[in-house]
Structure 1
Amino acid sequence: MAKRKFGLFTAIALAGSVFLAGCGGDTATDSGGSGEGGEAKDPEFLSVLTGGTTGTYYPLGGAMATIIENETGIDTTAEVSQASAANMTALADGDAQIAFVQTDTAFYAAEGSNMFEGEVIDTVSAIGALYPETIQLVTTADSGIASFEDLKGKKVSVGAPASGTYINAEQLLEIHGMTMEDIEEQNLDFAESQESLQGGQIDAAFITAGTPTGAVESLSATADVSIVPVADDKAAELIEKYPYYAKDTITSGTYGLTEDVPTVSVLAMLVVQNDLSEDLVYDITKAIYENTDQIQHAKAKLIKAETALDGIGIDVHPGAQKYFDEVNK
């Protein structure tokens, strides 16, 4: 049972949306909450929470919103947001229906740990994983920063407090024998990090996003970008302690890099309110995973039904599970 009051959540959701039964003329079965006689009452408007405009979630979310609207006939809009942690809270509060989130952040929400300490969210479930969210420690070639140890005493952007990026930064510093107290912590979003690196106000920035990331690409247009590597032994140590991480590589040519840079990643995923019907979530899932050719972003090629359940640490919505069971059998 969520520590949030479910009755309030339901009241907000009902007051904020006008519902209709079924989808495409069919009567749907509501997996999370049903109307009279068991008929689903899904919204006639869907909101997809993404992230900041210079990250990866926003352009992908815009493309997915268009696909969902075209395939389901439901008005769907992508919304700018504060990304993972804020998105989980917004869905639990009934402020949106679908959201992008990091797999590690969703796991914390489900168990009530880290930024969700004492606040279990069990009214949100998974649609599926999308692509690796690469942890990028970004600096410039003239900063003198070549390793994590070089961050000591430097001004480093670590994202908003309690954000997914912040926790990633905290855990990577930990593995390198450091804490937030060893740096001059700056709580900036991706766009602010880019501008501050360009202006020399900060020395480095943690950015967790699919590559190439818009903010880092913009930085590379005016400065020589350098990405601090995560050594193989440190990556292995991190994964052993926090198994939702995976080894990753930022390839040569990205941001003008002249060689591959080893690092780590979590996964980006889509989550949805439990209250949406099984039929509707099935249709949403099918729309996304069968129309990735309509997404004009490099990460689209990584979005596959075959790997959509990899790394998912929370319950999968029955509608999404039904789709993956059909295509992966």
Structure 2
Amino acid sequence: MKRITTALLLGTAAVALAQGTTFLTIGSGSTTGVYFPVATGMAKLINDAGAGVRANARSTGGSVFNVNALATGELDAAIAQNDIVYYAYKGTGLPTFQGKANTKLRTMAVLYPEVLHVVARKDAGINSIADLRGKRVVIGDLGSGTEQTARQVLEAYGLGFDDLGQALRVSPAQGISLMQDKRADALFYTVGVGASAISQIAQTVDVKMIPVSGNQASGLIKKYPFYVRYNIPGGSYKGVGATVPSVAVQATLVTTTGVSEDAVYKAMKAAFGNETELKAIHPSLASNFTYAKAVKGLPAPLHPGAVKFFREKGLNVK
């Protein structure tokens, strides 16, 4: 959490100083994903409320980067996959978190399902996850939640990154270019349905969506209970007419104990107080968010400011 402490600042910052405004930097993800427009939309609602809290959204490398940046104070809040937040809170699951539990992490709200999209070029001869062996596959940016999801899903099919022809660790924007230029055969992306990156690929390349289902999906969910089954509706993307079974985790807004109860409560009231305005930010929120769902499957305890907000909404939380 950052406060302006010098009277030399001009314009709105000087006004904010006089009013004792708290500034929150919210980490998101790639500009082609869903995190960024959601974080930007929430920041706007917070700023428009004029309640003593100002916010800005920052594009980042994704979930793993975000929770690490929360630990260092580089970010004040962030959107991240619930599994990644849990691993960071417990100090397990990933080498970067092993033995370094960040018990100061706190949940503000669960937002919407993040669905695993496995997109393949139709000319690549890929019909199942098993067919990715020997192929050039975009597995997500280094330190992203997608990279971790890709590792776990491949594992469920008896594969590892070393079994791929190339494991391409690049951003979604770079992944689009690689798919378009035939330098990648398939792409993993854990993101809300309707993400612009997936839509852009489908608009410019003949693609198919590869399912994650059957015994492999069951085994994945049993080993990693953050996953749930999720069907990508037919017609969500150009050329994908039928429903595609997959799995999903949950996008979650998180912060730390370093941000005051008052600041989090005011931010929550501004961003979440009007459910209609919140849902207007993005279709992923419109079709999935409810106050009841927002407190289910929490990867870390609720922040006291969030507890105060949800109790006002009639929920029994602590």
So what's the TM-score if we normalise by structure 2? 0.88
The aligned residue for residue 152 of structure 1 is 133
Question: Which structure 1 residue ranges, 4+ long, deviate > 3 Å from structure 2?
Answer: none
Q: Distance in 1 between matches of 2:79 and 2:21?
A: 19
Match of 1:195 in 2: 177
**How many residue pairs align between the two structures?**
295
Structure 2 counterpart of 1:287: 270
State the partner residue of 1:108.
87
Aligned mates of 1:282, 1:74 — CA distance in 2 = 10
Give the residue type in structure 1 aligned to 2:293. T
Aligned to 1:222: 204
Secondary structure of the 2:268 match is helix
Deviations 1:214-244 (A, max 9, x none): 1111111111231100113222211111001
SS in 1 for 2:219: helix
* Aligned-pair CA distance for 1:292: 4.0
| 1:170-181 equivalences in 2 (<5 Å) | 170-181=151-162
Match of 1:142 in 2: 123
Amino acid corresponding to residue 97 of structure 1 in structure 2: D
> Equivalent residue of 2:302, what SS?
coil
Tell me how far 1:313 sits from its aligned partner: 1.8
From 114, 134, 137, give the equivalent of 1:133: 114
The 1:75/1:313 distance shift into structure 2, 3 A limit, reads: closer
Matches within 5 A, 1:161-176: 161-176=142-157
Pair 1:290–1:225, CA change in 2 (3 A): farther
Gaps of 5+ in 1: 1-12, 20-41
The CA distance in 2 between the partners of 1:75 and 1:43, in whole Å, is 7
SS of residue in 2 equivalent to 1:281: helix
Q: What's the TM-score once normalised by structure 1's chain length?
A: 0.85
Match of 1:248 among 230, 251, 258: 230
Q: CA deviation at 1:43?
A: 5.6
Aligned match of 1:185: 167
Which residue is equivalent to 1:88?
67
Report sequence identity in percent: 34
**Which position in structure 1 is the counterpart of 2:299?**
313
Which amino acid letter does the alignment assign opposite residue 195 of structure 1? S
1:210 and 2:195 matched: no
**Partners of 2:232 and 2:246 within 8 A in 1:** yes
Determine the C-alpha separation between the residues in 2 that align with 1:58 and 1:208: 14
8 Å CA contact 1:232–1:262 kept in 2: the answer is no
Amino acid corresponding to residue 156 of structure 1 in structure 2: V
> Partners of 1:144 and 1:293 in 2: how far apart?
44
Partner of 1:68: 46
Considering only aligned residues, what root-mean-square deviation do their CA atoms show, in Å?
Answer: 1.9
Q: Distance in 1 between matches of 2:236 and 2:112?
A: 17
Which position in structure 2 is the counterpart of 1:278? 261
The alpha-carbon deviation at position 156 of structure 1 amounts to 0.7
Q: Distance in 1 between matches of 2:131 and 2:309?
A: 48
Mapped pair 1:300 → 2:285: yes
Aligned partner of 2:8 in structure 1 is none
State the partner residue of 1:51.
29
Where 1:271 maps in the other structure, the secondary structure is strand
Instruction: Give the Cα separation in 2 of the matches to 1:85 and 1:293.
Output: 30
SS at match of 1:258: coil
Residue segments in structure 2 that go unaligned for 5+ positions in a row:
6-19
Query: Is the CA contact 2:61–2:142 (under 8 Å) kept in the aligned structure 1?
Result: no
